Amino acid sequence: MDKPIRVLVAKPGLDGHDRGAKMIARALRDAGMEVIYTGLRQTPEQIVAAAIQEDVDIIGMSILSGAHNHLFPKVIGLLKDQDAEDIMVIAGGVIPEDDIPALKEAGVAAIFTPGALTTEIVQFIRDNIKR
């Protein structure tokens, strides 16, 4: 059997809007991936610890509360600290265009804003995963 892509889907911060995260989780599962879903109110530390123990290829996070500039870079920093920067990070949510360059600079591989199709996200993961 092919090795399935493993993805951690997490909601960092206090934002409780998980519709997007749940939709992505289902779509990735339907695309044949193993999705580790960790639910709401995850701290960056928890996300990174889970990603490491689950040995995922990629972390997907969604934030609608505006805390993205703080939380996404923090996750990436912690991955670096723990020699796990090979784990790719993608993100989604209400992210103003102005904030995207800095987030990409910080190491977020891709950012999907409202209206993004799940098929785009699946394709991006398949094309960019390091194996």
When binding is defined by CB under 8 A, the residue of 35, 59, 91, 103 that contacts another protein is: 35
Q: Does 107 bind another protein (CB under 8 A)?
A: no
Report the site for another protein in 43-102 (rule: CB under 8 A): 43, 45-46, 49-50, 52-55, 65-67, 69-71, 82-84, 94, 96-98
Residue 106 binds another protein (CB under 8 A): no
Amino acid at 15: D
CB of 1: closest distance to another protein in angstroms?
6
Instruction: Give the residue, chosen from 80, 102, 119, 123, that forms a contact with another protein under the rule CB under 8 A.
Output: 119
* Residue 65 C-alpha from the chain's centroid: 16
Q: Name the nearest CA neighbour of 79 among 4, 2, 10, 3.
A: 10
The yes or no reply on residue 23 touching another protein (CB under 8 A) is: yes
Q: Cβ contacts of residue 81 below 8 Å, gap of 6+?
A: none
Nearest-approach distance from CB 77 to another protein, in angstroms: 13
Binding interface with another protein (CB under 8 A): 1-4, 6, 13-19, 22-23, 25-43, 45-46, 49-50, 52-55, 65-67, 69-71, 82-84, 94, 96-98, 113-115, 117-119
